[in-house]
Structure 1
Amino acid sequence: MSVKSCEKVEKSQVALTIEVSAAEFEAAIEKAYQKMRKKINVPGFRPGKAPRKIIEGMYGAEVFFEEAINNAFPEAYESAVKEKELRVVGYPEVEMVGECTKDGFTFKATVPVYPEVTLGQYKGLSAPKDEVKVSAADVDARLNELAERNARLVSVDREAKEGDTAVIDFEGFLNGKPFEGGKGENHSLELGSHSFVPGFEEQVVGMKAGDEKDIDITFPEDYHADLAGKAVVFKVKVHEVKEKEVPALDDEFAKDVSEFDTLKDLKADLKKKIAEERQKTADRAFEDALMEQVGANITADIPDAMIENQARQFLDNFKMQIAQQGIPYDQYMKMTGMEESKLLEDAKEPATRQVRLDLALAAIIEAEKIEVTDEDVEAEMKKMAEQYNMELETVKKYLQADQVKDQLLTQKAIAVVVDSATALKPEKKTAKKKTEDAAEGEEKPAKKTTRKTTKKAEQEGEKETEKEAE
Structure 2
Amino acid sequence: MKNSVEYLSETRVQLDVAVSAEEFQPAYEKAAKSLAKQVNIPGFRPGKAPRRVLEANIGKGYIIEQAINDNLDTYYQQAVVEADVRPMSRPEVSINEVPEMNGKGDTTELKFTVEVEVRPEISLPNPADITIEVPSTEVTDEDVESALVDLQERFATLTEVKRKAAKGDYVNLDLVAKIGDEEVDDVAGVSYRIGDGNMLEGQDEALTGAKAGDVVEFTAKLAGGDHEGEEANVTVTVHSVKESVLPEADDEFAQLASEFDTIEELKNDLRESAAKSKADEQLMGAEQKFIEEIEKLADFPLPQAVIDEEVANHLQNEGKDAEDEHGKEIRAEIEKQLKLQLLLDEYAEGFGVNVGQDELLNFLLQQAQMYGMDPNQFIQAAAQANQLNAFAGELARNKGVIAAMRLANVVDDKGKAVDVAAVLGEAPEDEKTPEFNKKATRKVTKKATPKKATKEAAVEEAETKEAPVEGSAVEAPAKSALKAEWIAYRVATGELTEAEAKKMTKDELVNFGA
Band the TM-score falls in, shorter-chain normalisation: 0.5 to 0.7
Instruction: Say if 1:156 and 1:243, in contact at 8 Å, map to a contact too.
Output: yes
Q: Shift of residue 115 of structure 1? A: 4.2
Pairing partner for 2:159 from 148, 154, 157: 154
Q: Shift of residue 410 of structure 1? A: 6.3
Distance 1:4 1:109 in 2: 11
Pairing partner for 2:192 from 167, 189, 194: 189
Distance 2:242 2:262 in 1: 30
Instruction: Say if 1:361 and 1:413, in contact at 8 Å, map to a contact too.
Output: yes
CA RMSD of aligned residues (A): 5.8
Q: Which residue in 2 is equivalent to 1:136? A: 141
* Residues 241 and 281 of structure 1, relative CA distance in 2, 3 Å threshold: closer
User: How many residues were matched structurally?
Assistant: 349
Q: Shift of residue 362 of structure 1? A: 0.5
Distance 1:418 1:231 in 2: 49
Q: Which residue in 1 is equivalent to 2:349? A: 362
Identity of aligned residues (%): 22
Distance 2:359 2:198 in 1: 48
Q: How does 1:210-249 map to 2 (within 5 A)?
A: 211=213, 213=215, 215-220=216-221, 232=233, 234=235, 236-249=236-249
Q: Which residue in 2 is equivalent to 1:91? A: 89
The amino acid across from 1:356 in the alignment is: L
Instruction: Say if 1:11 and 1:112, in contact at 8 Å, map to a contact too.
Output: no
Distance 1:409 1:227 in 2: 40
Q: Shift of residue 264 of structure 1? A: 0.8
* Residues 155 and 339 of structure 1, relative CA distance in 2, 3 Å threshold: farther
Distance 1:409 1:167 in 2: 51
Specify which structure has the bigger relative contact order, considering alpha-carbon pairs within 8 angstroms and separated by 6 or more residues. 2
> Does the alignment pair 1:127 with 2:131?
yes
Q: How does 1:320-331 map to 2 (within 5 A)?
A: none
SS at match of 1:84: helix
* Residues 90 and 268 of structure 1, relative CA distance in 2, 3 Å threshold: same
Q: Which residue in 2 is equivalent to 1:276? A: 276
Q: Which residue in 1 is equivalent to 2:55? A: none
Q: How does 1:24-173 map to 2 (within 5 A)?
A: 76-77=72-73, 79-85=75-81, 88-92=86-90, 94=92, 108-116=113-121, 121=126, 127-128=131-132, 132-172=137-177
Q: Shift of residue 289 of structure 1? A: 6.3
Instruction: Say if 1:164 and 1:244, in contact at 8 Å, map to a contact too.
Output: yes
Deviations 1:366-385 (A, max 9, x none): xxxx667x6xx558969999
Q: Which runs of 5+ in 1 are unaligned?
A: 32-68, 316-328, 331-337, 430-449, 451-470
Distance 1:380 1:148 in 2: 40
Instruction: Say if 2:164 and 2:209, in contact at 8 Å, map to a contact too.
Output: yes
* Residues 283 and 186 of structure 1, relative CA distance in 2, 3 Å threshold: closer
Instruction: Say if 1:381 and 1:396, in contact at 8 Å, map to a contact too.
Output: no
Q: Which runs of 5+ in 2 are unaligned?
A: 36-64, 102-109, 319-324, 417-423, 425-514
SS at match of 1:277: helix
Q: Which residue in 2 is equivalent to 1:14? A: 13
Instruction: Say if 1:160 and 1:205, in contact at 8 Å, map to a contact too.
Output: yes
* Residues 91 and 219 of structure 1, relative CA distance in 2, 3 Å threshold: same
TM-score (norm. length: structure 1): 0.53
Pairing partner for 2:339 from 352, 356, 367: 352
Deviations 1:302-349 (A, max 9, x none): 544677899999x9xxxxxxxxxxxxx98xxxxxxx946424414534
The amino acid across from 1:167 in the alignment is: N
Distance 1:404 1:252 in 2: 49
Deviations 1:359-405 (A, max 9, x none): 1320231xxxx667x6xx558969999xx99xxx9699849997897
TM-score (norm. length: structure 2): 0.49
Q: Which has the greater radius of gyration?
A: 2
* Residues 87 and 256 of structure 1, relative CA distance in 2, 3 Å threshold: farther
* Residues 423 and 207 of structure 1, relative CA distance in 2, 3 Å threshold: closer
Instruction: Say if 2:200 and 2:223, in contact at 8 Å, map to a contact too.
Output: no
